[in-house]
Amino acid sequence: MSKDYGDYQLEEGGRGEAKEKESVSRRSLLSIGWIASLVSLIGPGLANIRYLFPNVLYETPTAFKLRKPAEYPPNSISFEEDRRLFVFNDRHGFRAMSAVCTHLRCTVGPFGPGKGATSRCPCHGSLFDKQGRVLSGPAPRSLDFFRLTESPDGRLQVDTQDIVSADMYFKV
């Protein structure tokens, strides 16, 4: 007693008599309170995590127009800097290849002239050929090719969400 004066344990100590008076036990009040309070604290916590995932984005749309086909010289590789992609125009037709390195998303370098030209990523040195295949370096997979279509006003149109195989050509 000398140590535990003022101890609310006393209430529990006197439980036997107290219990008959108490319609709801201390234990159940506390557990209701704790469960409900945790719901109302963890709940908003989870809702706040949901809040961090925006429903709308202010990014450039994934579908966009390029130039007119005639503006790409025959047998050329054009680099569309803003869109980070290459447009190949060869005897089979047009293709659009991503210039985003599959390693860590740097923009890969330009292709040199000539048949066996390659593109090197400046960040960690991955080397790609004109089919997008990885020749060396840390890149885990080939560069993507996107579907090309023609827009109503006669320009090439790309959707970067629409990935196609490397031998899919668009013919004018």
Partner 1 sequence: MDDASGTLGKSKVSRLVNWIVSTRVWRSIIRHGNPDNDLDRMQAVFTNFFLHIMPARVHVHTLRPTATLGLGVIALFLFFILIITGVLLMFYYVPSVDRAYNDMKDLQFVVSYGVILRNMHRWAAHGMVAAVFIHMCRVFYTGSYKPPREFNWVLGVVLWVLTMFLSFTGYLLPWDQLAFWAITVGSSIAAYPPLMGDTIRFMLLGGQEVGQGALLRFYVLHVAILPIVISMVLAVHLWRVRKDGGLARPREGAGGAHPTSAVGSGDWDTGKTYGLMALARGVTPVVGTQAPEEEVTAWPHLTFRLLVVFVATLTAVTAVSLLFDAPLEEIANPTHPPNPSKAPWYFLGLQELVSYSALVGGVIVPGLAVLGIMLIPYIDYSPEAEGVWFTSDRGRKLAWKSSLAGAVSVPILIILNAQFGLRTLWANAPQIMVDIVNPATALLIGMAIFSSTVVRRTGSRRLGAIALFSSFLGALIVLTIIGTFFRGANWVFVLPWEQTGAGH
Partner 2 sequence: MNSDIQAENHALRKWHWAFAIVGVVAAVLFTLSYWMDYDREWRKYQRNYASELRAILSGKGVRELPNPGIVYVQTIVSPTRVDRCQMCHRGIDDPRFAKSPHISGKSRC
Residues forming contacts to partner 1 in the complex (CB under 8 A) are 3-9, 33, 37, 40-41, 47-48, 50-56
C-alpha pair distances (Å), 11 with each of 5, 20, 61: 12, 13, 67
Locate all alpha helices (DSSP H) within the chain, ordered by sequence: 9-13, 15-21, 26-51
Calpha distance 47→26 (Å, rounded): 31
Shortest Å, Cβ 105 to ligand FES: 6
What's the one-letter identity of residue 159? D
Q: Is 140 in the site for partner 2 (CB under 8 A)?
A: no
Calpha distance 118→116 (Å, rounded): 6
Shortest Å, Cβ 84 to partner 2: 17
4 binds, among partner 2, ligand FES, partner 1, none (CB under 5 to 8 A by kind): partner 1
Edge to edge, what strands does the sheet with 127-128 contain?
119-120, 127-128, 134-136
User: Which residue lies nearer to partner 1 by CB, 40 or 149?
Assistant: 40
Instruction: Give the residue, chosen from 15, 19, 39, 125, that forms a contact with partner 2 under the rule CB under 8 A.
Output: 39
Instruction: Give the residue, chosen from 20, 52, 53, 58, that forms a contact with partner 2 under the rule CB under 8 A.
Output: 58
Which contacts of 57-62 are long-range, i.e. CB under 8 A and separated by 24 or more positions? 62/159, 62/160, 62/161
Binding residues for ligand FES restricted to 131-150, rule: CB under 6 A: 137-139
Q: Is 104 in the site for ligand FES (CB under 6 A)?
A: yes
39 binds, among ligand FES, partner 2, partner 1, none (CB under 5 to 8 A by kind): partner 2
